[in-house]
Amino acid sequence: MVEPTKKIQLQAPKEKTRTAILEAARTVFSENGYHNANVSDIIQKVGMAQGSFYNYFPSKKSIFIELLENFTQKLVDALEKYTVENASDRDTYSAMAIGIASTVSIAFTEDAKLAKIFFWEANGIESDITEILEKAYLKITKITERFMLHGQKMGILRDDIPADVLAAADVGISIHMIKEYLSGRLNQYSKEKLLFFNVGIQLGGMMKQKE
């Protein structure tokens, strides 16, 4: 029987190798795309035998799913830390709006490789992978909806448009702006400037304010 301390010591190198495989896969998927990526490309970066690879993951798809699930869960967890009920006036509500938008922006722009997988590689590959994306979008939209509904109750946001519609529009604008930035089509603006634009659209709309 293996002693508990020795078991932990044996597990540590295995976890280290597993992490190395995930990191290599993230690079390979972002550079080659899902369909053009091969297990051999991944193990070459890690420096391991192909047979050893299957001690950690059963397939290329299983790695892809784990990367995607880790990324989307990390984003959702970060957003769920915001308690919208703590916004008690216009200033705290606006500050929270900036914080939420910043959390989404940072998640995508600080890990461009995973963001590329999220935006360009995952959608439409297979039904179970598409389902992961759809669930992530739904969770993000529901969190945003809760924020919008609280703003309406406070009298800050217009209430002639349902909160779920406002949330869908806001998430759509935010995600598309980030995607454009990562594509290089909006990188003439800094991330901070785009964040300012995004929150400005969310809270002020597109029409010029009356003087």
Least confident range from 37-46, 56-65, 122-131, 167-176: namely 122-131
User: Is residue 137 located within the same domain as residue 73?
Assistant: yes
User: Is residue 107 located within the same domain as residue 180?
Assistant: yes
Q: What's the rounded Cα separation, in Å, for the pair 25 and 64?
A: 8
Instruction: Tell if the pTM clears 0.95, that is, is over it.
Output: no
Kindly report, residue by residue over 78-119, the tens digit of the pLDDT: 888 888 888 889 999 988 888 888 888 777 777 777 777 777
Domain boundary among 15, 41, 58: 58
Residues spanned by the domain of 23: 1-58
Kindly report, residue by residue over 124-171, the tens digit of the pLDDT: 778 888 888 888 889 999 999 999 999 999 999 999 999 999 999 998
CATH number of the domain enclosing 71: 1.10.357.10
> Is-contact 66 22, C-beta < 8 A?
yes
In the chain, how many domains are there?
Answer: 2
Looking at the domain assignment, is residue 82 inside a domain?
yes
